[in-house]
Structure 1
């Protein structure tokens, strides 16, 4: 199998971390591409008509795309149980919260990168407000779900926080969230996270 990817994408990183946690490095080769919302890479378009990454090219079926779809598929091939039935709805909600953080953070990155000095401050502030509320919810209500065996909720949360450090470090997401900050520091030390950290 081939993973169409870009190392800086937090959506891609979720899949790359899961691959390493599942021990699938020898089964999936990574194919880096350079793609933007205005100019999709041909390799990405060949796997996903939307031109978005990640996409997983399989030898025995159509390519899969959207990080959540790919992660569920890889979990089905694994015996690691990243989506445990006993806590499925909590894990899915935690993953969705992290995905929402990523969506807003990526939107902020694009607004600043492609509009430059014309970036809309109200848009940036509105997206950060969503992130801020989600982070507070993680600190206040979800930290107990970040312990125990690794789940996709934990992986997604760690990748979301890692992306905030990569692109929005000046916003200081750790302020007032000591428990979440401590958890992020511990989880980011995992070999799978270290191996997938963008420079």
Structure 2
């Protein structure tokens, strides 16, 4: 894989997607956000996007298209793969720690944060269905998983505070921010004051302030 010094990096993007925000925060942390050309696209489970599917058969965001100066092209998805690519070329080791123990911890925390974002998206989609069509069992299951995930995040604070900022911190922070964005009435902070304080610090980072989500469509 060649270094993308002269490559054009196009990120298929949405300001509402937590997984896109994860990539953009990573790009800001690496100091290369201005290298990414953001292509706005709308994707939905019930309506595949032909533009995105030309690069990503799953029709999901984020999708990164790397066009090399020699005419070659590479495509990367999902958020983990994109962050790994950016870290390898513009880090390295800034997002994914080089020390194996720290890297595995960061990847575990990333998996937890990604999982929370996925269950929040499921909860959002289920809430958009007509009330009579919603699954009470599914919503109850998602709620229980969220509550337990928040408990584990708070238990993991010593690990988060012991390491420099990496992909684990980033993904946990984005997941909590997405919870606030889509479910502001959740009031998770009342039961997890230490996690709230950590998230307040996360929210003050310039990379996080530069990527605040919004609804535009």
CA distance in 2, matches of 1:80, 1:159: 21
Contact between 1:138 and 1:180, CA under 8 Å: does it hold in 2? yes
Partner Cα distance (2:135, 2:184) in 1: 19
1:111 has 2:126 as partner: yes
Alignment of 1:1-199 (within 5 A): 1-60=9-68, 61-79=73-91, 81=93, 82-86=95-99, 87-113=102-128, 115-117=129-131, 118-140=133-155, 142-147=156-161, 148-199=163-214
**Which deviates further from its counterpart, 34-43 or 63-72?**
34-43
Aligned to 2:34, the other structure's residue is in SS state coil
Deviation of the 1:47 alpha carbon: 1.5
Question: What is the root-mean-square deviation in Å for CA atoms of aligned residues?
Answer: 1.3
C-alpha separation between the residues in 2 aligned to 1:95 and 1:48?
Answer: 22
Q: Please give the alpha-carbon distance, in whole angstroms, between the structure 1 residues aligned to 2:130 and 2:83.
A: 34
Instruction: Give the Å deviation of 1:105.
Output: 0.6
Secondary structure, counterpart of 2:130 in structure 1: helix
Deviation of residue 186 (structure 1)?
Answer: 0.9
| Structure 2: tracts of 5 or more residues without a match | 1-8
Task: Give the TM-score normalised by the residue count of structure 2.
Answer: 0.87
TM-score, length-scaled by structure 1: 0.94
Q: Which runs of 4+ in 1 moved over 4 A?
A: none
CA distance in 2, matches of 1:192, 1:40: 30
Contact 1:22 1:80 in 2 (8 A): no
User: How many Å apart are 1:80 and its aligned residue?
Assistant: 5.4
Contact 1:12 1:53 in 2 (8 A): yes
In the TM superposition, what is the alpha-carbon distance from 1:92 to its structure 2 partner? 0.4
- The C-alpha deviation readout for 1:83-102, integer Å capped at 9, x for no partner, is 11220110000000101111
Cα shift at 1:49: 0.5
